[in-house]
Structure formats: C-alpha cells, structure tokens
Amino acid sequence: MLDTVAKLQGVSSIMQPQPIDRAGGQTSEAFLKLEGITRRIEQQTILDDVSLSVEEGQFISLLGPSGCGKTTLLRVASGLAPCDSGTVRLAGMDITGVPAHKRNMGVVFQNYALFPHLSVAENVAFGLKAQRRDRAAIPSIVAECLAMVQLAGFGDRRISSLSGGQQQRVAVARALAVRPKLVLLDEPFSALDRQLREVMQIELRRLLRSVNMTVIFVTHDQDEALVMSDRIAVMNRGRIEDYSDPASIYSRPKSLFAFDFVGLSTRMAARVVAADGDMLTLDTKYGSVRAKGRFYPGTSVIVGVRPESIGPAGDKSDAAGEDRNRLKLWLTDIVFQGSKRHLHFAAQESDRLVAEVNSAAINMFEPDSELSVSWRVQDTLVFPT
C-alpha cells in the first residue's frame, strides 16, 4: 500500500520510513532489543550473555577483533543462527522464534554474497520477487535503488564484471530494496582499498541516514566505527565490554580492552599508593601520577592516557592552574603520521608510552633525549588489571 501511495505522490518509495507497529503502551522500548543472548558451539561459548538495545534510526557499530563473535551476533539477530538462550525483540515483538526469511532484515554479508547467475538488476529484484511484492512496481524500485547507490545503468551487467566497490554497492541496494526494518552490515568495506573505503563510509552513512534506517554495522576497524556510528559496542570474546557514543568510547572507555582496541595509547602498570576520596595517587615506573577513580590503596592497576592528551611540559596547552601530571621520559622515536607525529618513549615491560604532537612543532624534539611531558589529571584513566 505504501508503494501505491508513494507512486501516486510521485515520491520515491524507498525514502519512506517503514511504518512501525509497536505493541501498545511499550513506546519506551528500544527498536531492536537483544537480551541475554548466549550461543555455544561444541562447548565453546561464542556469545556470552550479550544484551544490546538499538533505537530506531540509530547507526550502531559492533567493534571487536577477529573471532570475537560479531558475525555470530548478526546471524542470531537476523535469525540465520539459533541462540541457546536469550531473546530478540524487534519493534516491541518477540521474534526469537521467527524464521530468518520472515524477519525482513536487510543483511550485507562480509563477502557480499551476490548471486553470480543473476544480473545486477536481478540481484536487486531478488527479495522483491521472493516476497511476492507487486510485480509491476519491481522495475522502478530496482532502478531507484541502483540510482541510490550510484549504479544507474548497471542493471544488465554481470556480477563478475563489477569492481569490489561496485559489488559492495549492489549488495547494499539489494538489501535496501525490500525496505527492511533493520539493516545489518558485516564488515562491508573489508575488501576495499583505503581510499575507496573512506569514500564509501561517508556515502553509506549518508544514504542510510536519508532513509532513516536502523543499522547495525560490524567492523574490526576502530576508525571506521568512530567515523560512522551513533553508538559503538566494543566486543571482546563473546561479550560486549562497552556500549556508548564514539566520543565517550574514545575518551572514557569502560574497560582496558576497549581503551586498547580504540587507538594506540599510552598505558602503564601502576600501584595505588593513596586514595583521598576519588583522587588516587599512583606509582608508576616513571614517577608518581594522580587520577580520579575508586580503588583501594595497594591495588595493581593500569593507567591509560590518549596520546593527544599528552604534550611537552611548558608548551601553550600546559596552562598554569590546571591540575596536571608530569613525567620525565626518554624519547626514543619520532614517527611521522601525516599532520601529526607520534613520540615514542622508552617503556618497560608491557608498558607503552606514546604522545601525539603537531608536525609543525617537531623541531623542538630530539630523539634519544630526555623530555618532560604533562597531561591533565582528568584525562588519566585507571583500569583494574
């Protein structure tokens, strides 16, 4: 019906957000709600009590290392894989037992999974035909979807004649053509080179925003997650360790794993020597630092600082009156990073000491020399070991 209305009004049908039949009175519940999902394969726990809520129209990233269970979680959400316990709720309804072909979720697979025996247009039309949508409307929807991913005129091409980026866009068009309730993308850019990937990231996000699509996007690339997402769920060994907006994930990660996974950073082993309210004094191998947190004196912890928070002591960001930590470190390497440079300092054992400075300021530093650095106490993160 929506099709006809849209056609009568001359409005692009794909641009209409899917109507949501929420169960009465449950307006506060998230659009997609995974609760306590556990999946085991041969005694191995692949997903361990995973819960995740996604609001309608939000773009969520699942970020985690290879093998942490991202694909498995997508498969459970889309119904392709069963779960041993837990529930999947969509728009207020429990769909845990609903078979995958009745869930109407658009999935873009890790390797696109385009049908090699069908043309580009037939690939995009596949879902419409399978769901017995109005046949007369199919050609116009297909043309519209191909235009949306900038592939107008490619309809008759064979899949094997397309480049990786073009195949990726066909996969997106195919998933969106059925106007799914939710789109799940499994590392759609992993096969693309960096330049194309960065363009596609922005294009895809704009496209999905414009149709107000709810999206779960899987990636193991932290930059990709930071660029694209409204919220990021950091996964590790079958669990979600942190779930927050990109800025918080970056500056206030909830776990050491999330801190380490999102960006190369300074981390040092430390011991709490004093706790005054929530102000801790910590001993590191390089000197004493202070941080906010709640730990008992004597506890072994890891101190983490983002590299761009650290600067040479005495430069203009080192304003007087700010509560700062200061350390004298031995500068070993200066690594070129484009507009920035990373300063690497001599570190012990599993510690890592990195600071980020503007390339413009580079002449101030000499490798194999001692350097005083400082950073704000409030930028100092403390994690249990």
Ligand X SMILES: Nc1ncnc2c1ncn2[C@@H]1O[C@H](COP(=O)(O)OP(=O)(O)OP(=O)(O)O)[C@@H](O)[C@H]1O
* Residues found near ligand X in the complex (CB under 6 A): 41, 46, 64, 66-72, 220
CA distance 283 to 295: 13
CA distance 313 to 324: 10
Judged by CB under 8 A, the stretch of 23-31, 194-202, 275-283, 364-372 that binds another protein is: 194-202
Pick from ligand X, Mg ion, another protein, none: which does 236 bind, CB < 5 to 8 A by kind? none
User: Whole-number minimum distance, CB 72 to another protein, in Å?
Assistant: 13
Closest to Mg ion by CB, 71 vs 325, is 71
Judged by CB under 5 A, the stretch of 69-77, 231-239, 313-321, 375-383 that binds Mg ion is: 69-77
User: Whole-number minimum distance, CB 217 to ligand X, in Å?
Assistant: 13
Question: Coil, strand or helix: which one is 379?
Answer: helix
Pick from Mg ion, ligand X, another protein, none: which does 163 bind, CB < 5 to 8 A by kind? another protein
User: Whole-number minimum distance, CB 220 to ligand X, in Å?
Assistant: 5
Beta strand spans in 237-368 (E): 239-244, 266-276, 279-284, 287-292, 300-305, 311-312, 324-337, 340-345, 354-358
Pick from another protein, Mg ion, ligand X, none: which does 104 bind, CB < 5 to 8 A by kind? another protein
Residue 365 touching another protein (CB under 8 A): no
Closest to another protein by CB, 149 vs 353, is 149
| Strands laid side by side in the 93-94 sheet | 44-54, 32-41, 85-90, 93-94
CA distance 325 to 264: 20
Pick from ligand X, another protein, Mg ion, none: which does 68 bind, CB < 5 to 8 A by kind? ligand X
For residues 233, 234, 236, 238, the Cα torsion angle rounded to the nearest 10 degrees is 0
Closest to ligand X by CB, 108 vs 121, is 108
Closest to ligand X by CB, 70 vs 197, is 70
Residue 71 touching Mg ion (CB under 5 A): yes
Closest to Mg ion by CB, 71 vs 380, is 71
> What number of other Cβ atoms are within 10 A of residue 287's Cβ?
12
Determine contact, residues 20/31, Cβ cutoff 8 Å.
Answer: yes
Closest to another protein by CB, 227 vs 275, is 227
Is the alpha carbon torsion for 274, 275, 281, 282 positive or negative? positive
The b/e string for 52-74 (b: 16+ C-beta within 10 A; e otherwise) is: bbbebebbbbbbbeeebbbbbbb
Residue 131 touching another protein (CB under 8 A): yes
Beta pairing partners, 154: none
Determine contact, residues 286/346, Cβ cutoff 8 Å.
Answer: no
Residue 150 touching another protein (CB under 8 A): yes
Closest to another protein by CB, 209 vs 285, is 209
Q: Which of 93, 118, 226, 346 binds another protein (CB under 8 A)?
A: 118
Query: What are the structure tokens assigned to 309, written together?
Result: 């928070």
Site string for another protein, 92-111 (x = CB under 8 A): --------xxxxxxxx-xxx
DSSP-derived secondary structure for 208-263: HHHTT--EEEEES-HHHHHHH-SEEEEEETTEEEEEE-HHHHHHS-SSHHHHHHSS
Determine contact, residues 205/59, Cβ cutoff 8 Å.
Answer: yes
Q: Which of 3, 35, 49, 122 binds another protein (CB under 8 A)?
A: 122
Question: Coil, strand or helix: which one is 177?
Answer: helix
Binding footprint of Mg ion on the chain (CB under 5 A): 71
Binding footprint of another protein on the chain (CB under 8 A): 75, 78-80, 100-107, 109-111, 113-119, 122, 126-127, 129-131, 149-151, 156, 158, 163, 165-166, 169, 174-175, 178, 193, 195-196, 199-200, 203
